[in-house]
Amino acid sequence: MATLETTRPFIPVGIAVLTVSDTRTMADDRSGDLLAQRIQDAGHRLEARQILPDEIALIRAQVTDWTLEPAIDVVITTGGTGFTGRDVTPEALEPLFEKRMDGFSEVFHRISYDKIGTSTIQSRATGGVLNSTFIFVLPGSPGACRDAWDGILRLQLDYRHLPCNFVEIMPRLDEHLKRG
């Protein structure tokens, strides 16, 4: 059973948030605002935040740049995971993943199903690792961002969460680069 081990220290991580939208601005980016607030409320560092249009090259460039920043441990994107012609965030990022995180999508859909039923199949939420940085690709709705943060990321980004969490494995994400 999962527990929060209060004898372990909380370790804040650096997180960047990218909203992918052709229409959102900082003034009306409710999903980005929700994620930024939850990140800070949890005690983590919001290292960067940006809004970009649904353009594969721009999304790839920004996320790749962030994964090369030592202060950024996690990138969370919101938007562009549906099936319309302009929804391209998974296409932009999945080819870059060194390792895919299929379980993230599965757990996200399970949580989402409990709230919105079969409509969850309209999301292509995904996750993976690039340059020793965790990347999570979330739908653009505030409800989906809330579900992903509250139901998965808040716990997995907390070193005190047992039996395991992402923070404790972060120092080993680049082991493959250190082998002879």
**Cis before 163? omega within 30:** yes
Tokens of 80: 């562009």
Whether 177 is covered by a domain: the verdict is no
Domain with 79, as residue range(s), is 3-167
- CATH number of the domain enclosing 62: 3.40.980.10
**What is the per-residue pLDDT across 117-139, written as a single tens digit (0 to 9) for each?**
999 999 999 999 999 999 999 99
pTM: 0.96
pLDDT at 176: 72
Whether 65 is covered by a domain: the verdict is yes
Whether 107 is covered by a domain: the verdict is yes
Whether 124 is covered by a domain: the verdict is yes
Q: Is the pLDDT of residue 145 over 70?
A: yes
Q: Give the start-end residues of each E strand in 40-160.
A: 45-52, 74-78, 99-100, 126-130, 133-138
If pLDDT is split at 50, 70 and 90, which confidence band does 2 have?
A: confident
Whether 178 is covered by a domain: the verdict is no
Whether 13 is covered by a domain: the verdict is yes
Indicate the number of domains in the chain. Answer: 1
Whether 174 is covered by a domain: the verdict is no
Whether 134 is covered by a domain: the verdict is yes
**What is the per-residue pLDDT across 39-55, written as a single tens digit (0 to 9) for each?**
999 999 999 999 999 99
